[in-house]
Amino acid sequence: MSIPSSNHAYSPSMIEVFGMAIDSLRSNRLRTGLTMLGMIIGIGAVITVTSVGRGAQKSVEQQIESLGSNVLTVMAGASSRGGISQGTGSASTLTWEDAKVVAEQVTMADAVSAYLQKVNTQVVYDSKNTTTTIIGTDLNYSKVKNIYPQQGQFFTQDELDAALSVAVLGSKVRDQLFSQENAIGLDIRIQGKRYRVVGVMESKGAGGIQDQDDSVYIPLSTMSAELVGNNALSGIAITGFVLSTQATDQLDAAQFQVSNLLRLRHDIYPPQADDFNIINQVNLISTLGTIISLFTVMVTAIAGISLVVGGIGIANIMLVSVVERTREIGIRKALGATRSAILSQFLVEAVVVSAIGGGIGVVFGIGVSVGASLALSIPLVISADSIVAGLALSVGIGVLAGVIPAQSAAKLDPIVALRSE
């Protein structure tokens, strides 16, 4: 590009300014690349963290919703040993009769299923064994939890009434004990007693309180009589029950009705505390989503620090560039370049560096997000707003980082600049 040899003021077009900026950056490729690195890492980190956070949130929501978003889980209170709480559901404060009464009297209830569970229980088949959760329940469990047998069947009402030793396996338990072998009709051992496998449940994955795939289901009557022996003063004690409604917007009303009914049955009056706990599936999704969102915002803010560092790097390099090119600036001013022309050139150089770095950072962030999605088995969620925000941030930081160096270059006295070595 030629500069007119005239004493008249010369203001190049924006295309010329852009061309000069590109030429200057090309002549210092290593320095330009290192300057961009901060922007690439910063933008890439922001996009990756945002994508992983939203993907994790969507994964949690999908897993919980696959088990039914219109579900209440009512659990017994916590027992205490030596002053140490044994956890919700460990006390004998709920009975099977409570669940049956709720099913009859709560108008919002579509279906109710009582359950009694025993965690960390060894299940054995032949020479193989695994530790899992045993869930004793009734016939409504499949409907309420939206999980059905993939092979065989769930146990029947006759098997429940007769407290027979039959079992339905979660898919993980089946895989760990039987591999490719057909489990239907074979016997497993739980606490030394044989149970005939009548079904294998479909895979649902972890979600909510319990991993449905890592469980063994047996009749509640059998569970109470043979494995737990944990009876309340009247009736069969249960860990809790799950209740489903026809629609999600009926959950709050159902929760209100269940709370009042159980308080009346258990003679609980203010200011006495409830001896049960209710988990609203919609509230659970909302709470988990809020926690993940807050964590994502926090980590994104930390990743954003690298953007600030990148901006400082650009400002520093541009200031060094002004010092190194003092004589060039003096010559251009002597040939008629205006102050605004000098200001524009250095400002455009800073913006170009940050914009190219931001663009590469976006591609880098998307690539890492895809890899993280595959590695963590979560949905890939890359929103357009994070990409637009990343590019806008990179350009904005470039403008801010280039202002001071550009002003310094524009203020140089041409005579002083020409005298510099």
110 shares its domain with 239 = yes
In a domain, 266, yes or no: no
Rg (CA), the chain: 34
Cα–Cα–Cα angle for 110, 113, 119, rounded to 5 degrees: 145
* Structural domain containing residue 104: 71-244
pLDDT of residue 408: 76
Residue 235 binned pLDDT confidence (cut-offs 50, 70, 90): confident
Does 186 score more than 90 pLDDT?
Answer: yes
pLDDT of residue 65: 64
Q: What is the pLDDT of residues 254-310, one digit of tens each?
A: 999 999 999 999 999 888 899 899 988 777 767 777 777 787 777 777 767 766 777
Among candidate residues 189, 216, 244, the one where a domain is terminated: 244
180 shares its domain with 88 = yes
User: How many domains would you assign to the chain?
Assistant: 2
140 shares its domain with 166 = yes
- For residue 129, the cross-strand partners are 124
In a domain, 188, yes or no: yes
pLDDT of residue 44: 86
Q: What is the pLDDT of residues 321-357, one digit of tens each?
A: 777 777 777 777 777 777 787 778 778 878 888 888 8
Among candidate residues 244, 270, 295, the one where a domain is terminated: 244
Count the neighbouring beta carbons within 10 Å of the beta carbon of residue 229.
9
- Mean pLDDT along residues 73-84: 67
pLDDT of residue 20: 74
CB 10 within 8 A of CB 336: yes
d(CA 298, CA 307): 15
230 shares its domain with 85 = yes
299 shares its domain with 383 = yes
124 shares its domain with 146 = yes
Does 90 score more than 60 pLDDT?
Answer: no
- DSSP letter at 28 equals T
**38-47, 179-188, 391-400 — which one is most confidently predicted on average?**
179-188
346 shares its domain with 294 = yes
- DSSP SS3 for 243: strand
In a domain, 343, yes or no: yes
CB 398 within 8 A of CB 314: yes
188 shares its domain with 298 = no
Residue 2 binned pLDDT confidence (cut-offs 50, 70, 90): very low
pTM reported for the whole predicted model: 0.61
Cα–Cα–Cα angle for 116, 118, 124, rounded to 5 degrees: 125
Q: Please enumerate in sequence order all residues whose Cβ is within 8 A of that of 283, keeping only pairs 6 or more positions apart, or say none.
A: none
- Mean pLDDT along residues 106-124: 93
In a domain, 265, yes or no: no
118-122, 314-318, 357-361: the lowest-pLDDT one: 314-318
pLDDT of residue 6: 43
- DSSP letter at 162 equals T
User: CA-CA distances (angstroms) from residue 340 to 88, 319, 409, 412?
Assistant: 71, 17, 10, 12
365 shares its domain with 222 = no
Cα–Cα–Cα angle for 33, 36, 38, rounded to 5 degrees: 125
Q: The tokens 């959760």 sit on which residue?
A: 133
Does 71 score more than 60 pLDDT?
Answer: yes
In a domain, 397, yes or no: yes
Q: Count Cα neighbours of 201 within 13 Å in the Cβ-side half-sphere.
A: 29
- Mean pLDDT along residues 402-417: 72
In a domain, 8, yes or no: no
* Whether residue 270 has a cis bond before it, omega within 30° of 0: no
Q: What is the pLDDT of residues 357-390, one digit of tens each?
A: 888 989 999 999 999 999 988 888 887 877 887 7
d(CA 213, CA 295): 28
Percent of the chain clearing pLDDT 70 (strictly above): 86
101 shares its domain with 215 = yes
In a domain, 262, yes or no: no
- Helix, strand, coil shares, percent, the chain, to 5: 55, 20, 25
| 352 sits in which H/E element | helix 339-376
229 shares its domain with 119 = yes
Q: Is 339 exposed, middle or buried (0-12, 13-18, 19+ CB in 10 A)?
A: middle
In a domain, 7, yes or no: no
Count the neighbouring beta carbons within 10 Å of the beta carbon of residue 216.
25
Among candidate residues 215, 244, 273, the one where a domain is terminated: 244
Does 210 score more than 90 pLDDT?
Answer: no
- Mean pLDDT along residues 187-209: 85
Of 325, 335, 346, 359, which Cα lies nearest the Cα of 18? 346
Does 83 score more than 50 pLDDT?
Answer: no
237 shares its domain with 93 = yes
d(CA 120, CA 267): 34
